[in-house]
Amino acid sequence: MLHVVHHADYMAPRPERGTFKFDKYYLVMEELRASAAPMTEHAPQPMPRKWLEAVHDPAYVDEVFRAEVPRDKERRIGFPVTTRIRDRVRHTNGGTWLAAQLAMEHGYAANSAAGSHHALANTGAGYCVFNDLAVASNRLIAESDASRILIIDLDVHQGDGTASLTATREDIITLSLHAEKNFPVRKARSSIDIGLEDHTDDEAYLNVLAKTLPETFDRFRPDFVFYQAGVDPHINDKLGRLALSDDGLARRDRYVVGQARMRGLPIASALGGGYGDDQREVAARHARSMLTMAAENVRFACA
């Protein structure tokens, strides 16, 4: 059973500036519904303003809430922040938090958007407005739902925003595996960063992950796990520089969920990046990723 968080506000009209397309958030749900896999959809509440302000600069939160984000910040984000976008990001941030709640109940749950790992304290960047991973982590710890959180970021781009927003936190650890030569040019310092060479393939990628992840779990001993499960390390991704196959991504996702669940830890995924001219192909990649993780979780739920 896949527990997936989705909201009608996850979609937004095609922005009047920039190249970002929101179609995939609708298409990914279509792919999941068409798969006939057992699934329950959950609708999130918007993230309360105070939890956004607990991580982001309140002046920036105010700019977003008024839909008056300065043009230079909008350029960094990649699209104009309209009232629709404001409502969208409040729901996608609430969605990652709800996925965490569902993961604590069911072992694994997915948010069908977000993973907005480039958003910084006083601005968004790289298609990210508010950093759901940092916002939800802070809220879970503040409300005593968790005490030590590991954020595994396997999007092809470095999780620079998450790293910088959690840099002073000893109770939130960030692990980022990314293409070294990809955006962002200036990387932030995650707790653990692994910059991979262009064209890294399945075997090399999975070897690095197997060398890094168990050790990270054992050393940090988290009690909750977030997973930014971007599918942009795929060989056909338009913005990725790596060379993972469909099978490689599936093995990656199974491995991550398995590592958390074998230790009895709940794990919630956020969608992350995935880019291509054919939005349906990208959406199918995300849908397969979530279904793979739900199937892996079942193995532990039944054990």
Q: Which is nearer to Zn ion, 146 or 282 (CB)?
A: 282
Stretch that binds Zn ion, among 24-32, 33-41, 89-97, 224-232 (CB under 5 A): 224-232
The distance of closest approach from Cβ of residue 262 to Zn ion in the complex, given in angstroms and rounded to an integer, is 27
Alpha-carbon distance of 66 to 87, in angstroms, equals 11
The residues in 203-222 that bind Zn ion, with binding defined as CB under 5 A, are none
Quick note: the x/- pattern for Zn ion over 157-196, rule CB under 5 A, is x---------------------------------------
157: helix, strand or coil: coil
How many CA atoms lie within 13 Å of 119's alpha carbon, on the beta-carbon side?
A: 24
Closer residue to Zn ion in complex, CB, 46/273: 273
Q: What is the CA radius of gyration of the chain?
A: 17
As measured in angstroms, the least distance from the Cβ of 139 to Zn ion is 24
- What is the Cα–Cα distance from 190 to 118, expressed in whole angstroms? 12
Residue 230 interacting with Zn ion (CB under 5 A): yes
**Count of residues near Zn ion by CB under 5 A:** 5
Instruction: Report the candidate in 175, 172, 290 with the shortest Cα–Cα distance to residue 230.
Output: 290
Cα–Cα distance for residue pair 241/180, rounded to 1 Å: 9
172: left (phi over 0), alpha (psi -120 to 50) or beta: beta
Q: How far apart are CA 253 and CA 260, in angstroms?
A: 11
Nearer to Zn ion, 63 or 232 (CB): 232
Q: Is 273 in the site for Zn ion (CB under 5 A)?
A: yes
The one-letter amino acid code at 221 reads: R
Nearest approach, Cβ of 71 to Zn ion (angstroms)?
Answer: 24
Nearer to Zn ion, 106 or 118 (CB): 118
Task: Pick the stretch among 46-54, 81-89, 153-161, 171-179 that binds Zn ion (CB under 5 A).
Answer: 153-161
* Element containing residue 281 per DSSP (H, E): helix 279-302
Stretch that binds Zn ion, among 39-47, 63-71, 152-160, 209-217 (CB under 5 A): 152-160
* Closest CB to Zn ion among residues 63, 160: 160
- Strand order across the 172-179 sheet: 39-42, 2-5, 108-111, 267-270, 224-228, 149-153, 172-179, 192-196
**Nearer of residues 42 and 157 to Zn ion, judged by Cβ:** 157
Cβ proximity to Zn ion, 85 vs 128, nearer residue: 128
> By CB under 5 A, which span of 48-56, 137-145, 184-192, 226-234 interacts with Zn ion?
226-234
Q: Bridge partners of 169?
A: none
**Distances 122 to 5, 60, 84, 151, 245 between C-alpha atoms, Å:** 27, 5, 20, 21, 37
Site for Zn ion in 23-82 (CB under 5 A): none
Nearest distance in Å: CB 27, Zn ion: 18
118 binds Zn ion (CB under 5 A): no
Residues near Zn ion (CB under 5 A): 155, 157, 230, 232, 273
